[in-house]
């Protein structure tokens, strides 16, 4: 089965079930204070999904999703799936590396990076 999932081409603050973030792309909060995307710490090739202050020149991490299970290459994909989970997948084999929690199913799930630094 062939499935087309469009990439995010412009900076945005929202991921939906049809808009995904691949390694090298980021979300930026509407006020420009926070950015979310893939990164590697100094002296490491491992890849993580994290959030940092956008306006501070040195990347200052404020949150990391997959701290316990890093990706070992740049094949990661961050997307929203039903019933309303934000998930990090290893795009090579589709394995879920990390996922958020949900209090219940959502009809049209989205993940939005707010100016407070919190996702909603």
Q: CATH number for the domain including 84?
A: 2.90.10.10
- Report angle CA 36, 59, 34 to the nearest 5 degrees: 35
Pairing of strands 48-53, 34-39: antiparallel
Q: Tell whether pTM > 0.85.
A: no
pLDDT score recorded for residue 59: 84
pLDDT score recorded for residue 3: 41
> Is 120 a domain residue?
no
Work out how many domains the chain is built from and give that number.
1
> Is 27 a domain residue?
yes
Q: Which two tokens mark 5? A: 């999932």
> Is 8 a domain residue?
no
Question: Going residue by residue through the chain (120 aa), what tens digit of pLDDT does each one get?
Answer: 444 444 444 568 999 989 999 999 999 999 999 999 999 999 999 999 999 999 888 888 999 999 999 999 999 999 999 888 999 999 788 899 999 988 788 888 888 898 886 655
Pairing of strands 85-90, 14-16: unpaired
> Is 5 a domain residue?
no
């Amino acid at each position: 089965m062939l499935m087309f999932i469009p990439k995010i081409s412009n900076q945005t603050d929202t991921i939906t079930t049809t808009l995904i973030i691949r390694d090298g792309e980021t979300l930026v909060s509407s006020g420009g204070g926070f950015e979310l995307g893939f990164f590697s710490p100094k002296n490491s090739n491992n890849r993580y999904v994290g959030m940092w202050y956008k306006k501070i020149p040195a990347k200052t991490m404020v949150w990391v999703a997959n701290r316990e299970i890093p990706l070992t290459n740049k094949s990661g994909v961050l997307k929203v799936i039903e019933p309303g989970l934000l998930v990090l997948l290893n795009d090579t084999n589709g394995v879920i590396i990390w996922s958020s929690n949900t209090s219940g199913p959502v009809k049209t799930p989205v993940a939005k990076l707010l100016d407070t630094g919190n996702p909603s």
